Amino acid sequence: MDFNKVDELKTKLKSMRPLNETEIQRLRGEFIIENTYHSNAIEGNTLTLRETALILHEGVTIAEKPLKEHLETIGHRDAFKYILSLADTNANLTERIIKHIHSFVLMDDADNRGVYRGVPVNILGAAHTPPQPYLVPVQMESLIKEYKKMKRSYHIIEAIAEFHLRFEGIHPFIDGNGRTGRLILNLELIKAGLLPVNIKFADRRKYYDCFDYYYSNGRSPEPFIQLITDYETDELKRYINILDR
């Protein structure tokens, strides 16, 4: 996998005149709304992008939509703000931080937020069965340790992609694993000086296929690495074009 283009764009963006605080806040606000919509939609939330924006910007309640979907929207927004604060301090990824991110994501479920699952789960149609609940803490501890080593040995996108595929395979929580995993992915990209990426609802089949490929082909992360690389390249180009204007 050739990461030269990503690294070149990252260097170019870093060398350009920075946006002022107002511009940064506007772009960040737009990204959070779009990311919240797409990440929730992948998991079955039926709110539209416009409805998501109305809830987050105007505090509007969408009468015909469930309260759960409103809370998922607010929780994801708050979780994204939390990962931005973590990125500002370059905080090391820990199980405590992962559980804290999850507690925002699952704000509508007081019993299960920030708590590893205590029951077996199956992912319908998936090529992989998550481990039994008693193995979750052991495998999560191991994943965190191995991720630190991966970051020293591989390009950051390779390390992040591998972490995400394995995190979702462990499926540590009863619900909210996808949203939590994508927030962690963006946290680690931002910490590495890259831009957060927005895996689109329209690409959900391609996204899910990456997991099936990983667990059916000797744990090869290549398709997911390529997906993240493509998203990151597009996002870097978009920001550079904004600065050029």
Inter-residue contact 174 to 112 (CB < 8 Å): yes
Q: State how far the Cα of 125 lies from the Cα of 121, in Å rounded to an integer.
A: 13
What is the H or E stretch that residue 192 is in?
A: none
Q: State how far the Cα of 188 lies from the Cα of 228, in Å rounded to an integer.
A: 12
Inter-residue contact 152 to 89 (CB < 8 Å): no
Other beta carbons within 10 Å of 131: 17
Residue keyed to tokens 């462990």: 170
Q: State how far the Cα of 78 lies from the Cα of 51, in Å rounded to an integer.
A: 17
Active site residues: 171
Burial of 226: CB neighbours in 10 Å, binned 0-12, 13-18, 19+: middle
Other beta carbons within 10 Å of 58: 8
